[in-house]
């Protein structure tokens, strides 16, 4: 738990630096692959759901949807419109307050303590911390893309890799697919060069390659066909096509620029 929270704080600091010197005009730059969102929307979203996580950990609400419906002014594009009047600098200040409060609350929890999140889908405190780290990195990718910068990836991306594996049953469910018993294997190279694996090394269906590329696929920001990932086997290809690290409805991957 402590290691995940250290990673979360480090990623928060990295994203803070990314946006801290933006002009008000840059805060309003559109995100390339998120309809009707701009950079400010992304940080508002992170700040609000950090706030919601704290509230749920403290037992002050029943689930995430109840908080969002009551307090965010959420529109059809899942934007928290209640906060659109804030300047970029004000949004950043608000996020700093909410993320600090959230991390402090996480330290009060035991790793396996159950926290309500989506209706009927509670998480352990440790899993929720991993999910907050994953979502922060996912939306930072949107910001990097908007600024035409290459997304920064550290070894702490392992939280996103783990969720790509752990959430596999949900990915099948939300795509109205039956999850087969087919053995699968993930073998991914972290930025440090360390190898991260999950599954059966003898499986005929496997995905191997860059942890960064797989993480970008898993957060639905890249199509696996546009990466250098080695995706072998019919079931591996299907998994790569529907993998999704976050809850909610099934999102489409970006259209592939090439077929393979």
For residues 67 and 56, the answer to whether their CB atoms sit within 8 Å is yes
| Cα atoms in the Cβ-side hemisphere of radius 13 Å centred on 2 | 0
Q: Do 121 and 222 reside in the same domain of the chain? A: no
- Residue 14 reports pLDDT greater than 90: yes
Is 251 inside any structural domain?
no
Q: Would you state the structure tokens that stand for residue 220, as one six-digit string?
A: 């639905």
| Cα atoms in the Cβ-side hemisphere of radius 13 Å centred on 53 | 30
Tell me the per-residue pLDDT of 200-250, one tens digit each, with 9 for 90 and over.
Answer: 999 999 999 999 999 999 999 999 999 999 999 999 999 999 999 998 889
Is 109 inside any structural domain?
yes
Q: Do 173 and 230 reside in the same domain of the chain? A: yes
Is 210 inside any structural domain?
yes
Domain that holds residue 173: 159-242
Q: Do 94 and 50 reside in the same domain of the chain? A: yes
Average pLDDT over residues 1-13: 96
Q: Do 123 and 226 reside in the same domain of the chain? A: no
- CATH value at residue 121: 1.20.120.450
Q: Do 113 and 182 reside in the same domain of the chain? A: no
Tell me the per-residue pLDDT of 129-144, one tens digit each, with 9 for 90 and over.
Answer: 999 999 999 999 999 9
**pLDDT reported for residue 118:** 81
Average pLDDT over residues 175-181: 95
Q: Do 28 and 78 reside in the same domain of the chain? A: yes
Question: CA 157 to CA 141: how far, in whole Å?
Answer: 12
| Of 125, 149, 173, the domain-final residue | 149
Number of domains in the chain: 2
Is 93 inside any structural domain?
yes
Q: Do 110 and 228 reside in the same domain of the chain? A: no
What is the DSSP code string of 33-86?
A: TSTT-BHHHHHHHHHHHHHHHHHHHTT--S-HHHHHHHHT-B-TT--BGGGTTS
Question: CA 259 to CA 33: how far, in whole Å?
Answer: 20
Which residues contact residue 33 at a Cβ distance below 8 angstroms, ignoring those fewer than 6 apart?
A: 142, 145, 221, 254
Q: Do 20 and 128 reside in the same domain of the chain? A: yes
CB atoms within 10 A of CB 187: 17
Is 257 inside any structural domain?
no
Is 247 inside any structural domain?
no
Is 259 inside any structural domain?
no
Q: At what angle do helices 88-106 and 39-57 cross, to 10 degrees?
A: 30
Q: Do 171 and 228 reside in the same domain of the chain? A: yes
Q: Do 63 and 45 reside in the same domain of the chain? A: yes
pTM for the predicted model, two decimal places = 0.94
Q: Do 50 and 126 reside in the same domain of the chain? A: yes
- Residue 80 reports pLDDT greater than 90: yes
Average pLDDT over residues 111-120: 90
Mean pLDDT estimate for the chain: 95
Is 61 inside any structural domain?
yes
């Amino acid at each position: 738990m402590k290691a995940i929270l250290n990673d979360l704080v480090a990623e928060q600091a990295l994203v803070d630096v990314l946006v801290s010197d933006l002009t008000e005009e840059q805060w309003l730059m559109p995100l390339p692959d998120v309809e009707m969102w701009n950079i400010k929307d992304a940080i508002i979203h992170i700040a609000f759901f950090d706030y919601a996580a704290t509230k749920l950990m403290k037992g002050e609400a029943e689930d995430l949807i109840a908080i969002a419906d009551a307090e965010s002014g959420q529109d059809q594009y899942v934007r928290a419109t209640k906060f659109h009047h804030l300047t970029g600098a004000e949004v950043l200040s608000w996020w700093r307050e909410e993320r600090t409060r959230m991390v402090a609350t996480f330290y009060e929890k035991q790793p396996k303590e159950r926290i309500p999140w989506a209706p009927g889908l509670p998480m352990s405190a440790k899993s929720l911390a991993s999910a907050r780290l994953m979502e922060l990195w996912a939306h930072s990718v949107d910001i990097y893309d908007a600024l035409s910068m290459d997304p920064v990836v550290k070894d702490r991306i392992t939280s996103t890799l783990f969720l790509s594996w752990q959430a596999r049953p949900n990915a099948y469910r939300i795509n109205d697919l039956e999850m087969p018993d087919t053995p699968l294997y993930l073998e991914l190279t972290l930025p440090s060069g360390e190898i991260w694996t999950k599954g059966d090394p003898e499986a005929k269906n496997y995905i191997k390659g860059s942890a960064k590329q797989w993480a970008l696929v898993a957060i639905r920001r890249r199509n696996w066909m546009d990466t250098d990932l080695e995706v072998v086997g019919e079931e591996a290809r299907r998994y790569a096509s529907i993998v999704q690290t976050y809850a909610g409805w099934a999102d489409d991957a970006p259209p592939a620029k090439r077929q393979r």
